[in-house]
Structure 1
Amino acid sequence: MFDLDKLSIIAIAIGSILFFLRRSLRYMRYFQQEEYYPDRFTRWWLEKRAFDSRGTVVAITAGLATLGVAELNLPLALPISIVAAAILAIIAFREEDPCKVGKLTLKMTQRVTRIYRVALVIYTIAILLVAAAFFHNATPVAVGWFWLVQIIFFQTTFAWLIAANGILWPGEKRIQDGFMQEAKTILGKVDPYVIGISGSYGKTSTKSILAKILECVEPTFWPPGSINTPMGITREIRERLVPEHHYAVIEMAAYKRGSVTRLCNLTPPKAGIITAVGLMHLDRFGSLENIYLSKTELPQAVPQDGILVCNGDNEGARRVWGEFKKRVTLVYGLELDKGHLDCWMTDIQPSESGTHFTIHWEGKEYKGFTKMLGKPMLSNILAAFTMACALGYDPEYILAAIYNLEPEKHRLNLVKQGDGVLLDDSYNSNPTGFKAALEVLEAIPGGRKILVTPGMIELGELQDQENSKIAKEAAQVCDLVAVVGDTNRKSLVEGLRQGGIKEEQLLQFENRDSALSYLKENRKEGDVVLIENDLPDLYEAAVRF
């Protein structure tokens, strides 16, 4: 007859592996959102205290129960283990499906599938090795201790994903390098005029605006949305770039020194736009000077006979303009008091339908209109206008294209809601953009001015200071503020109170959905609601495992 205690150890091992099957996918969703960076994923795990509780409770209960019946010499180790293992499996498979739940669901890409499978293999091997150690001396006491060992396995689920990613990285890099070389070959054969766009903010909108303007005159390639990483751009080139494309407008993201250089090597630019050098991703770069140096990688890659366009309203971008001269080097802006401008905008008149403005270029004035709102978006329009003019296109034609542009989703676009207004600026946020959004909120006629925000992130050691500072300004504009989530709650509430907001005007919610639900139920005539930023699950969600 087979030893019952050995059967108990087998049951525990099976239960543990079944638990890992689903639980690892839940952690994988956050690993994917952290772009597979082990240090960032580990920091998230620690800061959010994303520790296992459900599996650990089962393991402790089963372990202590088994040790207890062993002490009483009762033959109950096997039934306890079978029941507990079954509970583990039920818990795991009743949990939320990470591919269906959350603001950003888990995308089962080929890379995710590889990491998942390797993690499952090494987890299974580790479980079986530990099980073998207990198996050869199987007793009820050994069964109890094997249950308690499962606590370590459950608490380190995230680490098995990191280990699998590390094992796969050399092969992953070879795959990526192969795809990138293929994309470079395609790009070389098509040979479009590449315009790179880099900056701490405004890249995606400027790319979209410029590409749509150029598309009106020549076939233009641009990666959609916020695709701005080497592999994202590589995929777009391999799948969508065709010989007819005359222009290629490429957004170049930077998360560390060398990021933009890598993108410039992939898509060598003949012209470039620097939208801003700001505090975004300060936590990754460590200093504003490092951010500046990363942005200069684009102008360094633009050839001497190329075109460089910089935002004169931004100190860092203006510095780039001064230090990196090309055949054509232009500076644009909205603020004439900052210094020389080659192209600027005045007579800005916002309304619910959009914004009227006047652009000054080469000694002439050009009246224009856009459906977009807010100074940051107008600055992006001006960047695109300046580059298009530098490429030789008629300013009036460019303005006609701008007139027909639709606002980008979640970038301070105005949505009428009955007699009220929703200003959706939820894509992301930074100090400049937040301030501009508050100006638009104040300018739009209506009833109560309401702000819904989780604050700003990735500002490093300045994050609390910047959130508190903008909250003081919000207190002067808003009749009601809904602070969302825990990430910036303390600094936002502190700033709002310092700004003079009354307690009855300050609401706090765990997530955006509960805030919007409250506002819907307590809506008043003419409410103007600004949604400023919407953090991913990494920051907002209260994680429970």
Structure 2
Amino acid sequence: MTISDLYEIYCQHPVVTTDTRDCPEGSIFFALRGTSFNGNDFALKALEAGCAYAVVDDEAVTGNNRLIHVDDVLKTLQDLATCHRRRLRIPVIQITGTNGKTTTKELLSAVLSQKYNVLYTLGNFNNHIGVPKTLLRLRPEHEIAVIETGANHPGEIRELSHITDADCGLITNVGKAHLEGFGSFEGVIRTKGELYDYLRQKESGFIFLHADNEYLRNISGDIETFTYGMPGKGYDVEGEVMAGNPFLHLRWRPAGGEWQEVETHLVGGYNLDNVLAAAAAGIRFGISPTQISQALAAYEPTNNRSELKKTERNELIIDAYNANPTSMKAALDNFRLMPANHKMAILGEMRELGDASPEEHRHVVELVGKAGCEEVWLVGDNFRPFAGTYRVFDNVEAVRKHLEDHPVSGRLILIKGSNGTRLFRLPELL
């Protein structure tokens, strides 16, 4: 079956699923394979559960005329998504970057929603499966899409760019993350830059450029840019931090425009770049500065990213979704500047750093030592050789057990670690 033929079926059944636990009536089941499962084994079950069709790539799966056999289910899902995106032809913004891409995606979506019906990536569905599933949620009523793309090895952003076929792109930044997969910091830059490479081939492609970032400037080349950054440099959008205790308070303006002051619900001056990116997108797509500021002020993070939470006993800065050397430094630098008498840090180890892991964990311990903390808890064996007098826990369960026996109160607590350390389970005990 050709993609065009499958697309005709999809138009009649425009909901896709890859999970037999979620089979809406009339949907299409894609039998994906994983390291520990084979979706083909569940195709008939999906049809019984309500799916109209099941797309499979195992010839042994037979017995129902609603089975659609293809060579590769994942490739078919991706090709179908690209076909659908191109049929609708609405503007698509693709976002990637080492840090801040999810927050930036949500800020952009909040700003653009002031004028448009926006489709955007839910959660962190930003990989080779999540991106096509997001694109297949596009409907004729949508007027613009914001698609987040992530990567942990070379070539991945190139692949996702071809699937997304964006009109414009935004790289939030480049930093030391997934070094095990990328091989080096230079490998990170090249992979993130694959988004620029794709847009460079498009006649009307352009990028939102954080023009103060020398790495991004150096790889932007001759692409059309819409720039944002610090004041006084002639950028299309400029802004600066005014205060950050604890929430980011900033001012910004479009080139030649009036200053706009915004009090956000985001913790950390490092979020300035994310906010300015959203403002730049708003200006480029015809949203007024007042509307942009209103959207930025109203946005509240609820995803364990730069989230401030007050409990009965403590005040928490929850940044427990992800961690790498770059984001750790930003979070600890910001925490150091926050005035508080009783500060505490609970830091989870960083993953996928390869040979750089020992040095980077040692550096984090040095940074937290300058943050003015009364107490520091480190979670994970990667910290153990460098912990000195700091308490080290094997895992989050050990932390939880300790908190049950020794409650903490009266503290401003930074919680920061890779998602795999599961520090997001701690706030309920603090």
Identify whether the pair has TM-score above 0.5, normalized to the shorter chain. yes
Determine whether 1:372 maps to 2:263. no
SS at match of 2:382: coil
Structure 1 residues 439 and 521 mapped into 2: Cα distance closer, same or farther (>3 Å)?
Answer: farther
The answer for the alignment partner of 1:307 in structure 2 is 206
User: Of residues 375, 383, 393 in structure 2, which corresponds to 1:488?
Assistant: 383
SS at match of 1:418: coil
Determine whether 1:115 maps to 2:34. no
Structure 1 residues 370 and 231 mapped into 2: Cα distance closer, same or farther (>3 Å)?
Answer: same
Distance, in Å, in 1 between the alignment partners of 2:336 and 2:175 is 25
Shift of 1:394: 1.3
Output the aligned Cα RMSD: 3.1
Distance, in Å, in 2 between the alignment partners of 1:449 and 1:538 is 21
Shift of 1:444: 4.2
The answer for the alignment partner of 2:192 in structure 1 is 295
The answer for the alignment partner of 1:197 in structure 2 is 95
The answer for the alignment partner of 2:250 in structure 1 is 357
The answer for the alignment partner of 1:432 in structure 2 is 326
Distance, in Å, in 1 between the alignment partners of 2:70 and 2:315 is 47
The C-alpha deviation readout for 1:45-64, integer Å capped at 9, x for no partner, is: xxxxxxxxxxxxxxxxxxxx
Distance, in Å, in 1 between the alignment partners of 2:36 and 2:189 is 36
Q: Work out whether residues 299 and 324 of structure 1, in 8 Å CA contact, stay in contact via their aligned partners in 2.
A: no
Distance, in Å, in 2 between the alignment partners of 1:117 and 1:371 is 42
Distance, in Å, in 2 between the alignment partners of 1:114 and 1:513 is 26
Shift of 1:294: 1.6
Instruction: Look up the equivalent residue of 2:362 and give its one-letter code.
Output: S
Shift of 1:223: 1.8
Shift of 1:220: 0.9
Distance, in Å, in 1 between the alignment partners of 2:398 and 2:356 is 28
Structure 1 residues 229 and 514 mapped into 2: Cα distance closer, same or farther (>3 Å)?
Answer: same
The answer for the alignment partner of 2:228 in structure 1 is 332
Q: Which consecutive residues of structure 2, in runs of 5 or more, have no partner in the other structure?
A: 1-30, 42-57, 62-68, 424-430
TM alignment of 1:248-263, pairs within 5 A: 248-263=145-160
Distance, in Å, in 2 between the alignment partners of 1:332 and 1:421 is 33
Distance, in Å, in 1 between the alignment partners of 2:95 and 2:275 is 13
Determine whether 1:221 maps to 2:119. yes
Q: Work out whether residues 447 and 526 of structure 1, in 8 Å CA contact, stay in contact via their aligned partners in 2.
A: no
Distance, in Å, in 2 between the alignment partners of 1:537 and 1:420 is 21
Shift of 1:516: 4.1
Instruction: Look up the equivalent residue of 1:511 and give its one-letter code.
Output: N
SS at match of 1:368: strand
SS at match of 2:323: coil
User: Of residues 482, 496, 515 in structure 1, which corresponds to 2:399?
Assistant: 515
Shift of 1:384: 1.4
TM alignment of 1:139-154, pairs within 5 A: none
User: Of residues 292, 304, 308 in structure 2, which corresponds to 1:398?
Assistant: 292
User: Of residues 168, 172, 177 in structure 2, which corresponds to 1:275?
Assistant: 172
- Size of the alignment, in residue pairs? 366
Identity over aligned pairs, percent: 28
Shift of 1:228: 0.9
Structure 1 residues 480 and 455 mapped into 2: Cα distance closer, same or farther (>3 Å)?
Answer: same
The C-alpha deviation readout for 1:391-419, integer Å capped at 9, x for no partner, is: 22212211111111111421121111225
The answer for the alignment partner of 2:163 in structure 1 is 266
The C-alpha deviation readout for 1:102-137, integer Å capped at 9, x for no partner, is: xxxxxxx86359836999xxxxxxxxxxxxxxxxxx
Instruction: Look up the equivalent residue of 2:216 and give its one-letter code.
Output: A
Instruction: Look up the equivalent residue of 1:333 and give its one-letter code.
Output: G
Structure 1 residues 391 and 183 mapped into 2: Cα distance closer, same or farther (>3 Å)?
Answer: same
The C-alpha deviation readout for 1:318-338, integer Å capped at 9, x for no partner, is: 3233x2421xx133235x69x
Instruction: Look up the equivalent residue of 2:125 and give its one-letter code.
Output: I
Instruction: Look up the equivalent residue of 1:251 and give its one-letter code.
Output: E
Q: Work out whether residues 32 and 38 of structure 2, in 8 Å CA contact, stay in contact via their aligned partners in 1.
A: no
Distance, in Å, in 2 between the alignment partners of 1:250 and 1:118 is 28
Distance, in Å, in 1 between the alignment partners of 2:163 and 2:316 is 40
Q: Work out whether residues 205 and 408 of structure 1, in 8 Å CA contact, stay in contact via their aligned partners in 2.
A: no
Q: Work out whether residues 446 and 528 of structure 1, in 8 Å CA contact, stay in contact via their aligned partners in 2.
A: yes
The answer for the alignment partner of 1:182 in structure 2 is 80
TM-score, structure 1 as length reference: 0.61
Distance, in Å, in 2 between the alignment partners of 1:406 and 1:532 is 19
The answer for the alignment partner of 1:474 in structure 2 is 368
The C-alpha deviation readout for 1:210-248, integer Å capped at 9, x for no partner, is: 11221221111112011111221212233x210111111
Distance, in Å, in 2 between the alignment partners of 1:118 and 1:487 is 39
Distance, in Å, in 1 between the alignment partners of 2:357 and 2:229 is 26
SS at match of 1:278: coil
Shift of 1:525: 4.5
SS at match of 1:371: strand
Q: Which protein is richer in helix relative to its size? A: 1
Q: Work out whether residues 202 and 376 of structure 1, in 8 Å CA contact, stay in contact via their aligned partners in 2.
A: no
SS at match of 1:450: strand
The answer for the alignment partner of 2:181 in structure 1 is 284
Q: Which has the larger radius of gyration?
A: 1
User: Of residues 217, 221, 226 in structure 2, which corresponds to 1:318?
Assistant: 217
Structure 1 range deviating more: 305-314 or 241-250:
305-314
SS at match of 1:248: strand
The answer for the alignment partner of 2:10 in structure 1 is none
Q: Which consecutive residues of structure 1, in runs of 5 or more, have no partner in the other structure?
A: 1-108, 120-164, 498-502, 540-545
